[in-house]
Amino acid sequence: MDLAFTEEERGFRAEVRRFLRENMLPEIPRKLAEGRQLSKDEKATGARILNRKGVPTWPKEYGGAGWTPLQQYIFAEEVRALPARFKFGYGESLVGPVIYTFGNEAQKKYYLPRIADAKDWWCQGFSEPGAGSDLASLRTRAVRDGSHYVVNGQKIWTTWAQYADWIFCLVRTDPDVKKQQGISFLLIDMTTPGVSVRPIQLIDGGHEVNEVFFDNVRVPVENLVGEENKGWDYAKFLLGNERFADAGVAISEERIRHAKRLAAQCYLGDERLIDQAAFRERVAAVEVQLKAFELTQLRVVTNASKQQKGSQDPASSILKLRGSEIEQMAAELLMDVAGPLALPYLSEEELESGNEPPIGPDRVASAAPTYFGSRAASIYSGSNEIQKNIIAKAILGL
């Protein structure tokens, strides 16, 4: 495999850099470089800027840029290098591809332009208490009642549900067949009567995930994507996209850069931490693994054009598995550099309501929540144990 970029691809990279330099709001990369969170409005504005040439990962006929997989990869590289990498919900990366691949024309015409213009924030309603890694055991029911489905049940670990305008859900529409065969894919307006959201406070101090409850929620039948009881097929397609999107190269790169910046400011005696041989060896070991992983991701990208429409490369499970492991290594490195100064972490809400300032400097404030939050990387998007099963079956043929 030739890993060198062509002259045309290098020209495309230069064009992307120029576009980002001339269009991206300067406060977005500044806040991201400082490890601070963007507001919903800032994310919406940033998403509209990034999508001015069309959604980078979508086909042109659906409002996308129409770029090749390799051009998408180059664009993503430049966005994360700025940095300007963030998510405006899961519309663009997850439910959008499901809609333009399996949805009807009315759904494509209504939802896709709104997603591309960052008008709707989407959250994902898959996991339930007792149905996480074994997602096919979900129990949220949708019973047909004339022109509506009546939905009852609960979803959990729903990321950014507190911001969401819509939620895409897996629901059980036939309880009398094999569990994978009785699931459907519904789009639900979060303002519908009977939908309620309860926050979950995480170990990193943040409020990113939630419980979502459905109490006799009436959902129009036209909000069904594809065919009834075919939702499991659409979910597998979506999860393949999610595992590729969550490979984590950008996250790990930024954490390593941040750790090196901190190490350049930390002294042990008269010597900076970054100048110590043992520390440099440790950083190099993580960077080598990250580079090898990035090349693996590039191989998957170059094979993307060979995949049948509506299917996913099982190698996305390799990306998710290894990406989460390296993401955790980078977070641990950052935490070790911050040392005891990372411990007295307070969320922005706690800082605003309290009287005591943080003990450590601002530059280490994100180390502890980053480390604690990274522990979930091996669980979300399908646990690493599940990915090993997929790899064994679909790739190794065991």
**Helix, strand or coil for residue 222?**
helix
Q: Looking at this protein, which amino acid is placed at residue 227? A: E
242 noted as active-site residue: yes
Helices (H), 311-398: 316-338, 348-353, 367-374, 384-390
Distance from the Cα of residue 207 to its chain's centroid: 16
| Alpha-carbon span 370 to 391, nearest angstrom | 28
CA neighbor of 251 nearest in space, from 90, 382, 86, 17: 86
CA neighbor of 27 nearest in space, from 15, 13, 42, 5: 42
H/E segment holding residue 290: helix 277-303
**Helix, strand or coil for residue 213?**
strand
| Alpha-carbon span 227 to 134, nearest angstrom | 22
State the distance between the two ends of the chain, measured CA to CA, in whole angstroms.
27
Active-site option among 128, 208, 242, 327: 242
Record the tokens describing residue 236, joined without a space.
């597998």
Q: Looking at this protein, which amino acid is placed at residue 257? A: R
Q: Are the beta carbons of 192 and 178 closer than 8 angstroms? A: no
CA neighbor of 362 nearest in space, from 265, 267, 252, 280: 265
In which residue are the tokens 């691809």 written?
A: 9
Residues in the chain: 398
Q: Are the beta carbons of 167 and 161 closer than 8 angstroms? A: yes
Q: Provide the annotated active-site residues.
A: 242
